[in-house]
Each structure stands twice: as structure tokens, then as C-alpha cells.
Structure 1
Amino acid sequence: MELGLGNIFKYKKLALLYLFISSVLYLSFAYDLVRTDFLKLLLLYLGLFVCAIQFIKSTGYYFRVLVLASIIFRLLFLFAIPNLSQDFYRFIWDGQMILSGINPYLTTPDFQMELGTLTNFPNQSELHEGMGALSASNFTNYPPLNQLCFAIANLFPGQSILSSIIGLRVLIISADIGTLYFGKKLLERLKLPSNSIFWYILNPFIIIELTGNLHFEGVMVFFLVWSLYLLHSSKWKLAAFLFACSISVKLIPLMFLPLFLKWFKTENKKIDFKKLISFYVIILMTVVLLFVPFFSFEFISNYSKTVGLWFGNFEFNASIYYLARSIGYAITGFNEIEMITKILPSISFIVILYFSFFKANNSITKLATSMLLVLSCYLFLSTTVHPWYLTTLIVLSVFTNYKYALVWSVIIILSYFAYANIDYAENLWVIALEYLIVFLVFIWEVVLKKKISF
């Protein structure tokens, strides 16, 4: 007979202790931490990982207790101002732009401020100052469904920045609960341990970067996992719609589209091109329709330039790119970013084609594995790898035998060492240590152990 929560905590006092310690650490993280204090940040972060692992084990993987804990930890952040990222100021700004009847894709915050403050735009000056010069001087790069979330968050009762933050946080927490629900159901369908979903849901990285710092990768992941669940249930049309929703929150799932090439196979192992094309058409039409309310030729120009800017002009926490940059400096004496950012994406494209044409992605486990490896290679070759970019890797790893993404979610905290410096300069030795660990685990799992065979 299943024990109630009270009895579980009675007989699992150690679990209750770890729940209490984790709660104290999360409260300290949320309300008593500045990102320039790297030592405190590091100790809190590592302490939370130790407690998370011990808590999960001490409960005996008891589902109801783990669900309760995952909700409690997130609610602890409810009234906190994000302390590791200032992106939320831009989120709130874009949402207020929409509610003010202004297309956020057609004007920059700097230009809007030059026009003067609007009477129906709460906290306009504070938001502009808070987002920083880089964000304020560029057009928004967030897709339409993400923009809708920003607008909805600003409808939360109240006219303060905190009320909008609470609105954003409620949406992200709701998405995480949805990922928990469909992730568990999908794991059960795949006959995999359903409690594996908690290595995502109770991962301190996920709680801090999504609920804490308000990054919407969690909403993207929710639609992605829901889509994969429906795809496994042979409801491919609705799965295509939800996959399009995932793209319309963040563009990253676009790179997964070629991987579906061998999903729609008939009994005689031939590709059902009618279903395949229909699948892609539904995705394309859904994405287009979601962009329609913002459409104009100026929008196309602004959005494409901004996306290209973010993916090709900035440098942070890179690995292979930094090595290529060093070689470029040694040969020419200059930063050859323009040339390098043409070569590395080409390699990523070749990797995607390889996994699309030469891997049998005809099951969710194989498909998730290909998605995981493709995205990993993309991040290894990127010029910019912000911590929250790992969110998709972590959820995909739940459905595979590869766990290097979980290791990376611990080590990624080293990237925040840059904020301990006044000029936010990165220490390349620290970055090297991060990627040395990540690449060693990656090579061990993917190349040496060969856990997955296609």
C-alpha cells in the first residue's frame, strides 16, 4: 500500500533534512546573492547539486514527494528579482510594447526612448535602463509565441516590475509542470524509468536558470516534449503543430527538422513522403501564421539582422571557436570571427545532414539521441554558449543513455566567473577547465563506451 506524504517524511527523515537545507540554499540564492560574488555563487550552486542528488535518493524516488519538492523549490523564487541575468527587463519591455499597440520588432528600446515615454507603458525608463546598452540598441530577436508570453505576463495584477516578473515566473513554472507530466508519460511509454524526469525537473540548474532567471527555454522544452509524446502516440499532425509552437518560442528546434526524415517509414521500410511533407507543411504554416500579426518587410529585415547578430557577432563561453580564434590570431594577428563563423556553422550543417540521412531516427529514443548529439555539436562549435542554452540538452538526455549534459549542467557555473570581473572579461583557463571536463565525459560516453547503436 502506498504511503502518504506524512508517513514518507516520518520514515524518511533524511529526505526532510535535505528538503529543508535545499530550501534554505535556494532562498539564499534567490534573495541574498549578487552575481559578482562568484565564490558564494559557486558554493551555493554545488551545495544545491549535492542536496538534490541526496534528496532524490533518500526519498527512494517517491514520485509524490519529488513533485512536491519541485514545486516548493520553484515557488521560493516567486518574489525574487533575477540576479544572474538582466534579460527579463527586455521581456517585460517587449510585452508592454505589444500591450501599448506597438510592434516590438520594428523599433529598438533606444529609439523608443528618444520618442519619449508613453502614458500606458509602466516603468518604461526603469526597464530601458535595466536591460543594458546592448539589448536596448538592438531589435528584439524573440519569436512570436515568446512575445505572447511576455504580453500575458504583463497582465498579471499590478503595475510594478515585480508583478510582471511574477507573471513571467508563473508561466515558466506552469511549463515545467507540463514537462513533468508529459515527460513522465513518455518515459512510461518507452518503458524507461519514469523517475528519470526528475534529473531535469529537480536539477538545480533548471530551477535557477528557468524559474530563477526567467529564461523561456523551459516553455520551448514543454512544447518539444509534448510533441515527442504525441509523435510516439502516432498523433503526428498535432505533434507537428506543437513542434511549431516550440520553434515559435525559441528557434533552436529548427535544426531538428531534418532528423524526422526517416520517422515516417512504411511497413516495407520506405519513407512515406506524403506524411513527411504534410508534417513539415503543418510546422511551416503554423510558424508563419504565428508571425503574421507582426509581419512587414521591415520586420523581415530587422529580425534577420538581429538573429544573425546574436549568432555571429558575440563571444561567450565558447570552446572550439576560441581555439579557432587563437589559431587565427597566431597566423594573421587578427580575430578572424567573420571567416570562422562561416566555417563552423557549415560543420554543424554537415553533422545535421549526417544524422538525418545515416541514422535510423525511427524511434523516440533514437530521435532524442540524434537531437542531443546534433545540438551538442552545434553548441561545441558556437561562438556563444550562455548557461541556459543547455536546457534542451538536459531534457533530451533524460530519454537517452547519455548523461554528459547533466555533468555539463554542473560545470557550466564556471562561465559565471566572468561576472566577478569589473569588465566581465572571461578567464580562458576557467573556460578551458569547463570544457576539458565536458569533452572528457562526452568522448567517454559517445565514442568509447558506445552505449547507443543505431
Structure 2
Amino acid sequence: MDLQSLKYHKFPLLLLLTGIAFYFSFAYDLARTDFIKLISLYFGLFFISFKLLQLEKQNFWFLAIAAVIFRLLFLIALPNLSQDYYRFIWDGSLLTEGINPYLQTPEGFESIFPGGIEFKQNLINGMGSLSSGNYTSYPPVNQLIFAVASLLSGKSILGSVVLMRSFIIAADLGTLYFGRKLLLSLNLPVHRIFWYILNPFIIIELTGNLHFEGVMLFFLIWSLYLLHLKKWIPSAVLLGVSISIKLLPLLFLPLFLRFFIKPQQEIEEVSTAFLDKIDLKKLSGFYLISIATAAVTFFPFLSSEFFQNFFQSVGLWFQKFEFNASVFYVLRWIGFKLAGFNVIRYAGILLPVITTGILIRFALFRRNENFKMLITTTMFGVSVYFFLSTTIHPWYLATPLLLSIFGNYRYILAWTLVVVLSYSAYSNPEFQENLWLVGLEYLVVFSVLIWEVFQRKKSTA
């Protein structure tokens, strides 16, 4: 970079250096109980990323290098907003010794633990009673990553963290690569990929806090790219791998229904029947390969106890846990007013049924044969699922955020900005949520969503 270009990039470079200082402080000098410092750094980083993208959106490599630098700052830091990594290391340690991690809870584990008694107790204390008292819910490909990190780290907690974080950073680079290629294929601006890659929410929640949505999304975006190229068989395999990291992509399967349309010359002109237009052979093959790929990864763990334990753990998210919810909190308030008790047991059954109904409607009636519409529908589908869930941890938003870059709706981007308000719960010794802040979060999200929907209707009128 010569002196002239250095002068031109002076302000972006200053922003980059400020971002480095902010991320370093976030990684190594932040207690999650310090809510004021947390949101100050977070909002500051959002501003820095926004200005970098605004000023350098034509400079792909400047933004890409900045994103990598910000991630590498976290490399040797222990996550400070999540303790889930202790459970990752626990599961990985068991798997390296040939022990099925799905069959026992950490609290109930009575055999000799790999790494010794002290290592075992450190992990149990670190993960907390909620995790240690329940069976693992992480699918097999995720477990494989835990095992590789545990095997190579020599039972070092920091070593395992560094290795797992390396997987996540590599996955983000893969998402940058395939996300860019898909944007180019769809004739969309390439800089949109940085709404995801350079977003502080993604850097902090995935690289910093060690959540594997980023690895799942790498396989998902790769799958979508191949599907756009009509390579549906390898696309289905990659979608199955994505499911075996996080189960969320299972929700997307019904939405592919209208995408597998026969070529026009194969459709009988006299036929108006919906099913006559669908290439059922390819559609059923896509579904079968995706599900079979995911199922194969479960085979080494299968037993009657596995099914009972795994689905019991997954079911807890619907009928026991509640955090940062929107519609459910309104229903809970109504339930207390009318019935005098928490209705989560009933809402945890009813809300998934409503979600399923909405997804089926999306599958049948939205024009998903258009690839851009397919991705937008998928974004709306997962948004509905989250709006109707009882538990929304911040890192869940990584999926709709990535999907949003291929459409024209920005409410997810706004959500990633205000979701940090949910961390106010950590500033309370009893982990009590501030419902005023939760309300403010969703007021912003739904306001932006409603405004965008009306703007779209006005522009198409």
C-alpha cells in the first residue's frame, strides 16, 4: 500500500485499529456481569463494522482481512459469555475413549473419567448444573469436532478451545467463499456477505463464545450454492451433514417442495394440477439423501437409551426452558392472569404445531421455485420458528442473518444489534431477565419488520 492509498484509507485504518482494541477488550477484559461495558463495546463495534462496510464495500480484501484479524484476536481467550464449551469438552473427552456421550449425564457419570477426577470436576463446575444434569443434545458431526479437539489438546481446556475455535474460523472462511460465489451467481452485490462475516454479533457469538452454528451454516451455504447450480445430489449430502451439526435445517426441508419444478417442456399444457408440475423423483431423492446422510452419522450411537435421552434433552427446549422469548412471554403473562400459572407446558406443545402449520403454508403457497424467493422464504420460516419459541439464545440468529443477505429484508440485521440486551440477565445474581429490555428488543425487531413489509407492499402496488 503506497502513501497515496494509505492517505485515502486513513479513516478505515483508524476504524480497524479501534476495532482491534475493542475486540481485545471484549475477549480478555470483560466480565459478563458488567452489562454496561458489554453493550458499550458491542454497540461501538457495530458502528465500526457499519462504517468499514460503508467506506470499503468495494474493497473485498480489506474487509476480509479485517474480519480474519478480528477473529484471531479471540484465538487464545476462554469464552466469557457462554459456558457451553465445558460440555463440548466433556462430550469430546468421552468420545475419544470410546464412551457414548448420549447415555449418561455428567452428574450421573460414575466411571473413571478421561483426564482424571480433577479434570472431571473442573468441567462439571464449569458447565453448571443445568448442563451437567441433562443429557447431551449435540448431534454426531458436532460431537466429532469435540472429539478431535479433545484428542489433539491432551485434555487441556484452553487447548480444546483453541482447536474448536479454529474449526469455527475455518468454517466462516468457507462461508465467505461460498456466500460470495452464491451472491455472484444471483447477481447480487458481493459486499452483502460482510453483513454476516464482519458483523460483531457473528464474530463474538460464534468465534468468541464458541457456538457451532457457524460450522452448520458453512455446510448449509455450500449446499444452497450447489442446489442453485442444479447439483442436487451433493447439495442433499451437504444438507444432511449440516443437520448432523445442528438440527435446525430439518425445518427447511418442506420449503424445497416447490423448488423442484419440472422443465417447462415436460409439463403437460392441459394440466393445472400442482403435483404434475413437481419433479417428484428429484424431490424425493433430495429428501431421502439429506435424511439418510444425517441418519448415517447417528448409527454408531444408536440404542434404545439413545433415543430416550436425546429426545428428552431436545424436548427440554420446548417445555422447560425459557429465555428471551417474544410471543411466548405474552402468552405466559396471559396465562398467569387467567389461570394463575406458567403455561409453558401447553405452549411448548401448541407453538411448534402452529410453526409447522405456517411452514407448510410457506411450502405450498409461496413461489419458492425462484431461488431468491426460496432463500427469503427459508429466512421467514426460521424467523417464525424463533418468534414462537420459548427459548432464543442470541447465537440462534446466525442462521436467519446469513439467509437475509440474499433478500431485501433487514429486520434480522436490526435483531442482531439489539439481541445483546438479553445479556442483561447475567448482571443479575439470580440470572433474572429484565423484561423491559426484552420488550425493547422485540419492539425494535417487529417495528422494522412491519415497516419493511408495508414498504414492500407499497413498492409493488
Whether these two folds match at TM > 0.5 is yes
Q: What displacement does 1:395 show?
A: 0.2
1:356-367 equivalences under 5 Å are 356-367=363-374
Q: What displacement does 1:226 show?
A: 0.3
- In the alignment, which of 433, 449, 457 is matched to residue 442 of structure 1? 449
- In the alignment, which of 46, 54, 59 is matched to residue 49 of structure 1? 46
Tell whether the 8 Å contact from 1:372 to 1:396 is kept in structure 2 after alignment: yes
In structure 2, the residue matched to 1:339 is 346
User: 1:304-354: CA deviations, max 9, x gaps?
Assistant: 111111232100000110000111111111111111222211111111011
In structure 2, the residue matched to 1:137 is 133
In structure 2, the residue matched to 1:209 is 205
The yes-or-no answer on 1:423 pairing with 2:430 is yes
In structure 1, give the amino acid aligned to 2:47: V
The yes-or-no answer on 1:149 pairing with 2:145 is yes
User: 1:12-38: CA deviations, max 9, x gaps?
Assistant: 111110000000000000000011000
3-state secondary structure, aligned to 2:414: helix
Distance in 2, matches of 1:6 and 1:228, equals: 42
- Cα 1:371–1:60 change in 2 (3 A) is closer
1:375-454 equivalences under 5 Å are 375-450=382-457
In structure 2, the residue matched to 1:235 is 231
Tell whether the 8 Å contact from 1:393 to 1:405 is kept in structure 2 after alignment: yes
The yes-or-no answer on 1:20 pairing with 2:27 is no
The yes-or-no answer on 1:307 pairing with 2:314 is yes
Distance in 2, matches of 1:306 and 1:16, equals: 47
Q: Which contiguous aligned blocks of 4+ residues in structure 1 show a shift greater than 4 angstroms?
A: 4-8, 119-122
Q: What displacement does 1:8 show?
A: 4.4
Distance in 2, matches of 1:423 and 1:247, equals: 34
The yes-or-no answer on 1:64 pairing with 2:61 is yes
In structure 2, the residue matched to 1:166 is 162
3-state secondary structure, aligned to 2:257: helix
- In the alignment, which of 88, 95, 99 is matched to residue 98 of structure 1? 95
Distance in 2, matches of 1:130 and 1:305, equals: 23
In structure 1, give the amino acid aligned to 2:165: R
Q: What displacement does 1:5 show?
A: 8.6
Q: What displacement does 1:390 show?
A: 0.2
- Cα 1:288–1:175 change in 2 (3 A) is same
- Cα 1:7–1:203 change in 2 (3 A) is farther
Distance in 1, matches of 2:147 and 2:338, equals: 49
3-state secondary structure, aligned to 2:260: coil
User: 1:199-256: CA deviations, max 9, x gaps?
Assistant: 1000000000000000000011101100000000111000000001111100111111
In structure 2, the residue matched to 1:326 is 333
- Cα 1:435–1:60 change in 2 (3 A) is closer
User: 1:350-397: CA deviations, max 9, x gaps?
Assistant: 110111000121132111100111111111111000000100011000
Deviating more after overlay: 284-293 vs 27-36: 284-293
- Cα 1:198–1:88 change in 2 (3 A) is same
In structure 1, the residue matched to 2:270 is none
1:182-221 equivalences under 5 Å are 182-221=178-217
Distance in 2, matches of 1:238 and 1:404, equals: 32
Distance in 2, matches of 1:361 and 1:368, equals: 8
Q: What displacement does 1:10 show?
A: 4.2
- Cα 1:341–1:311 change in 2 (3 A) is closer
Tell whether the 8 Å contact from 1:96 to 1:121 is kept in structure 2 after alignment: no
Distance in 2, matches of 1:61 and 1:89, equals: 41
User: 1:58-94: CA deviations, max 9, x gaps?
Assistant: 2243011111111100000001010000001001111
The yes-or-no answer on 1:274 pairing with 2:270 is no
User: 1:129-162: CA deviations, max 9, x gaps?
Assistant: 1000010010000011110111112233444200
Tell whether the 8 Å contact from 1:216 to 1:249 is kept in structure 2 after alignment: yes
Distance in 1, matches of 2:459 and 2:393, equals: 28
Distance in 1, matches of 2:171 and 2:2, equals: 24
Distance in 1, matches of 2:74 and 2:142, equals: 21
Count of residue pairs brought into register by the alignment: 449
In structure 1, give the amino acid aligned to 2:387: F
Distance in 2, matches of 1:451 and 1:88, equals: 47
3-state secondary structure, aligned to 2:347: helix
Q: What displacement does 1:116 show?
A: 4.6
In structure 1, give the amino acid aligned to 2:366: K
Tell whether the 8 Å contact from 1:9 to 1:15 is kept in structure 2 after alignment: no
Superposed CA RMSD in Å reads 1.6
Tell whether the 8 Å contact from 2:71 to 2:203 is kept in structure 1 after alignment: yes
Tell whether the 8 Å contact from 1:144 to 1:249 is kept in structure 2 after alignment: yes
In structure 1, the residue matched to 2:300 is 293
Q: What displacement does 1:55 show?
A: 1.5
- Cα 1:118–1:232 change in 2 (3 A) is closer
How high is the TM-score relative to the length of structure 2? 0.94
Q: What displacement does 1:121 show?
A: 8.5
Tell whether the 8 Å contact from 2:93 to 2:114 is kept in structure 1 after alignment: no
% identical equivalent positions: 53
How high is the TM-score relative to the length of structure 1? 0.96
Deviating more after overlay: 183-192 vs 56-65: 56-65
Gaps of 5+ in 1: none
Distance in 1, matches of 2:99 and 2:154, equals: 21
Distance in 1, matches of 2:457 and 2:297, equals: 41
Tell whether the 8 Å contact from 2:78 to 2:161 is kept in structure 1 after alignment: yes
Tell whether the 8 Å contact from 1:5 to 1:64 is kept in structure 2 after alignment: no
Distance in 2, matches of 1:452 and 1:189, equals: 25
The yes-or-no answer on 1:39 pairing with 2:36 is yes
- Cα 1:264–1:6 change in 2 (3 A) is farther
Gaps of 5+ in 2: 268-276
3-state secondary structure, aligned to 1:422: coil
